[in-house]
Structure formats: C-alpha cells, structure tokens
Amino acid sequence: MNSSTPADLSGRKVAVPGGTGAVGEGIVRRYLTAGADVVVPTRTQERAEEFRRLLGDAATDRLHLFVHDYTTFAGAEQLADEMVSRLGGVDDVVAPIGGWWAGRSLWEIDEADWQSAFVGLATAHMAVARAFLPRLSPRGAYTLIVGESAVTPIPGSGLVSMEQAALRMMQQVLTAELDGRQRVFALQLGPVATRLTGAGDPDQVTADQVGEVAVAASASKEAGREIRMRSRAEAEEALDLLRGTRSAAPGTVLAVSTMEPKDGRRADLLEVLAELAEQIRAEPGCLHYSVHRTRGEDSGPLLVVQMFASIQAFTEHSAKVAGQIPRLGALLATPPKPPTLFEPVPLGDGTAVDPLPA
Ligand SMILES: NC(=O)c1ccc[n+]([C@@H]2O[C@H](COP(=O)([O-])OP(=O)(O)OC[C@H]3O[C@@H](n4cnc5c(N)ncnc54)[C@H](OP(=O)(O)O)[C@@H]3O)[C@@H](O)[C@H]2O)c1
C-alpha cells in the first residue's frame, strides 16, 4: 500500500464513543469511508439528530448511531455486549470523549468542576476501556484521543491537563499490562481545526486528519504507541510510520550494536532484549528495532539494529535505556559499548536508503 492508498476496513466493527464531537466527526467520517461499520452512541436524542444531519450522505447504513449513555461502567458494559450480539464483535475502538474546560485556577475549582471536568471524563474513559478491551479482536486497535495539555500545563485549564495526563498514562499502563495482546494508541493533538473553529491556521491538524491517522493505526500492524500529531507535518509523519512508507530521511540515525553473550547466558540476553523491544518500539522517535544472529547459528553474538527519526530521538532513547546497561552488562562477555551510529548516504537521485520495516 502506498501513502495515498486509503485503508480498506470493510467488515471491521468500530466503536467511537464521543464520535458526535468536533474531533469525533472526522474520525467517524474516515472509518465510514474506509468501509467499516461504525457504532456511535450518544447521550442525547438532539445530538443524534444533529449529528446525522451534519454527516448528510456520509451517514450510510454502516453508521449505527443511537442514544445510549456509555459514560458509566454499567452503560459501557451494556454497549459492548450489544455490539457483540448485534454486529458479531468489536474490532476497534476510538475514544474522542470529552471536550474543553477553562476558567479557574486549581485552588479555585469547586466540586462540580472537579466532578465534570476530571472525574466524569476519567470515569467515561475507564468505563469504555474496561468494557471493550476484553472483547476487542486481536487485529484491531484501541485509540485514545488526548490533547497536548497532557504534557503542557495550561493555566486556568488545569483540570483538563490533569485528566489528559491520566489518559496518556492509561495508554502506557494498558500497553504494559496487555503485553502485546492488544494494541493501544494515544493520539496526542494540538489545537484541531474542526467544524466549530473553521480552517484556522494552515499548519493545524484537521479533524479529518485525526480520523485518517486513527484509521491507519487500525489498519497497521504497528505496536500501540503514543503518536504526537500537533502539526500537519507530524500528522504526515505518523501516516508514513503507520503505513510503512516512512523513508530514511536525512537526519535518520541507524544504531548498530554487537553483543557477545557470556557462556550459557545467551537465552537470558535474548529475554532481556525481547523485553526491551516493546519499550523501545513504543518510543515516539523509534522507527525500527530488531535483533539478529549469524545465519543458522543458535550460539554466538547477537546484532541489535535500531533506527531513530533523529539524533535527538536517539539521545532521548539512550537516556531512557541507561538504567538497563548494568543488567545487559552482567550477561555480556565484554563490557557493553555504545552502539555505532550510521546516517543515510544520499544516492544522487534524491533518495536515501529504502525504509526498514518497523
Ligand atoms: N478540539 C480540539 O481542538 C482538541 C485539541 C486537542 C485534543 N482534543 C481532544 O479530543 C477529544 C474530543 O474533543 P472535542 O473537541 O471533539 O470535544 P467535543 O466536541 O466536546 O466532543 C466530545 C464528545 O464527547 C462526549 N462526551 C462524553 N462525556 C462527556 C462529558 N462528560 N463532557 C463532554 N463531552 C462528553 C460527547 O458526546 P455525546 O454528548 O454525543 O455523548 C461529545 O460529543 C478530547 O479528549 C479533547 O481533549 C481536542
């Protein structure tokens, strides 16, 4: 598939709680375009009618839009059950639940603010995740939509920042707990151009692009990860990554290490490298991680090949794994050395090397 080929998700069953919202609209449209069956619960009849009107001809018979409160544990459980019994299963979930809150410093909030902007939203996300994840098909993905406010405090909107930071951590905890059985993504958005804001800044990601990236995540086999898409350039980069079309652009860093295990410790070394694979592949700047052996040899050295989007991504990676070096060192015949770094060589026709599969 090349970068402009739309994904075909025919037959996939996708739930989008929060899909009636400004960002949700782009997500729902994109999954419908990709051929999926899309379930959009909404808490009110007015919202259902308004959303159907907004979608116009895009509201095909594959759109299952109905009134249902999915924001409680019992409500989400009932929704997931219904979806399994009526559509035969659930493949993907995208959760653009919740909106914006602003107006007070943290010490000025009252209990109503706390309940609505933090507890209510966190509960809705928790309810949906716990109801749907155990029912999700292995090919699908669970995608949380979070804002940049998860990592950057916004004075006067602290409750949003705190709740979004909790969601961001939810993706990380779920990824660790699921241990490769399901893929969980978090799309981290800056301000989005939606039906409510109009076109705005040309560098702003649109709701439609959020949908495009969510669809690409579902269609890919990429491990779940956080995907930053705070600008159109980052959205394009995310699409290339998810569609496997990301090329080794100038600035890419290939890091290669040879590891000679101590006698009798090769299996332990492989175990540590496999454990690190998940963590390293989930780093936003990691493009590739693989471990190789001499062809046909069950003993001898291992070659670890990693590719990073930039030297900065490699430096961040090195800081993250620094704590693992003594653990690796204990299994190696010689003290661990930093990897040898390579960069792409332009081939004269504007291309560098072919991309490595992730
Ligand atoms: N818009 C942006 O520029 C932007 C930027 C960065 C991140 N985000 C993130 O994207 C997600 C969706 O944002 P949005 O702008 O699309 O919000 P929105 O227009 O307010 O829509 C959110 C939807 O979530 C549902 N919802 C469920 N519980 C809710 C609650 N307690 N309060 C409010 N809505 C609730 C509503 O659906 P029903 O009423 O139909 O059930 C609503 O349509 C949020 O997580 C937000 O942080 C948005």
Reported as a pLDDT band with limits 50, 70 and 90, residue 41 is very high
Q: Pairing between strand 253-259 and 302-308? A: antiparallel
Torsion angle of the four alpha carbons 340, 341, 344, 345, in this order, in degrees rounded to the nearest 10: -60
pLDDT confidence band for 246 (50 / 70 / 90): low
4 domain-assigned: no
For residue 210, give the ligand 1 atom closest to its CA.
10
Domains: count for the chain: 2
Which of 179, 211, 243 represents a domain boundary (last residue)? 243
Q: Give the domain range for residue 280.
A: 253-342
Q: Are residues 297 and 216 in the same domain?
A: no
pLDDT at position 283: 86
Q: Which of 45, 73, 97 to mutate to test the pocket of ligand 1 (most atoms within 8 A of CB)?
A: 97
* Residues 84 and 181 both lie in one domain: yes
Name beta bridge partners: 134: none
Q: Which of 243, 273, 302 is the last residue of a domain?
A: 243
- Is residue 25 a contact partner of residue 42, using CB atoms and an 8 Å limit? no
For residues 208 and 267, membership in a common domain is answered with no
Q: How confident is the model at residue 2 (pLDDT cuts 50, 70, 90)?
A: very low
Binned at pLDDT 50, 70 and 90, residue 249 comes out as low
pLDDT per position as a tens digit, 8-28: 999 999 999 999 999 999 999
Using the mean position of ligand 1's atoms as its centre, give its distance from the Cα of residue 7 in Å. 25
Do 176 and 31 have their domain in common? yes
Cα 13 from Cα 270, distance rounded (Å): 37
Pocket of ligand 1 (CB under 6 A): 18, 20-24, 42-43, 47, 71, 96-99, 120-121, 124, 145, 147, 164, 189, 191-192, 194
Q: What pLDDT sits at residue 149?
A: 94
| The pLDDT value given to residue 348 | 56
pLDDT in the model for residue 51: 98
131 and 168 in a single domain? The answer is yes
Mean of the per-residue pLDDT values for the chain?
92
pLDDT score of 264: 93
Residue 353 within any structural domain of the chain: no
pLDDT for position 251: 82
CB 168 within 8 A of CB 189: no
Q: Are 67 and 45 in contact (CB under 8 A)?
A: yes
334 Cα–ligand 1 center, Å: 54
Ligand 1 midpoint to CA 329 (Å):
48
Sheet of strand 13-15, all strands in order from the earlier edge strand to the far edge:
63-67, 37-42, 13-15, 92-95, 141-147, 183-189, 226-229
Task: Count the residues in the chain.
Answer: 358
Residues 258 and 239 in one domain: no
- Same domain? 113 vs 201: yes
Question: Is 25 inside a domain boundary?
Answer: yes
Q: Are 122 and 136 in contact (CB under 8 A)?
A: no
pLDDT in tens, 79-117: 999 999 999 999 999 999 998 899 899 999 999 999 999
> Which tens digits make up the pLDDT trace of 315-355?
999 999 999 999 999 999 999 899 999 988 866 544 555 55
Asked whether residue 355 is assigned to any structural domain, the reply reads no
Q: What is the pLDDT of residues 254-303, one digit of tens each?
A: 999 999 999 999 999 999 999 999 889 888 889 889 999 999 888 899 99
Name residue, tokens 């079309």: 245
Task: Report yes or no on 114 lying in a domain.
Answer: yes
Instruction: For residue 310, give the nearest of 246, 259, 354, 258 by alpha carbon.
Output: 246
C-alpha–C-alpha distance, residues 251 and 239, integer Å: 19
- Residues 65 and 107 both lie in one domain: yes
**pLDDT digit string (tens) for 69-81?**
999 999 999 999 9
Residue 282's pLDDT is what?
A: 84
Asked if residue 94 lies in contact with residue 16, where contact means CB atoms within 8 angstroms, the answer is yes
CATH number, domain at 163? 3.40.50.720
Q: Closest by alpha carbon to 212, among 48, 5, 1?
A: 5
Residues sharing a CB contact under 8 Å with residue 21, sequence separation 6 or more, in sequence order: 96, 97, 99
Residues 230 and 269 in one domain: no
Strand, helix or coil at 218?
helix
pLDDT confidence band for 1 (50 / 70 / 90): very low
Shared domain check, 215 and 258: no
Q: Which residue's CA lies nearest to atom 19 of ligand 1?
A: 21
What pLDDT is stored for residue 224 in this prediction? 93
Residues 48-65 have a mean pLDDT of 97
**What tokens were used for 301?**
């050295």
Lookup result for tokens 């175990």? 271
In a domain, 3, yes or no: no
Ligand 1 centroid, distance to 100 Cα (angstroms):
7
Residues 291 and 208 in one domain: no
Residue 35 located in a structural domain: yes
What are the tens digits of pLDDT across the range 181-215? 999 999 999 999 999 998 778 899 999 999 999 99
In a domain, 354, yes or no: no
CATH of residue 270: 3.30.70.100
Q: What is the largest CA-CA distance in the chain?
A: 70
Within this chain, do residues 224 and 258 fall inside the same structural domain, yes or no? no
- pLDDT per residue as tens digits for the range 120-153: 999 999 999 999 999 999 999 999 999 999 999 9
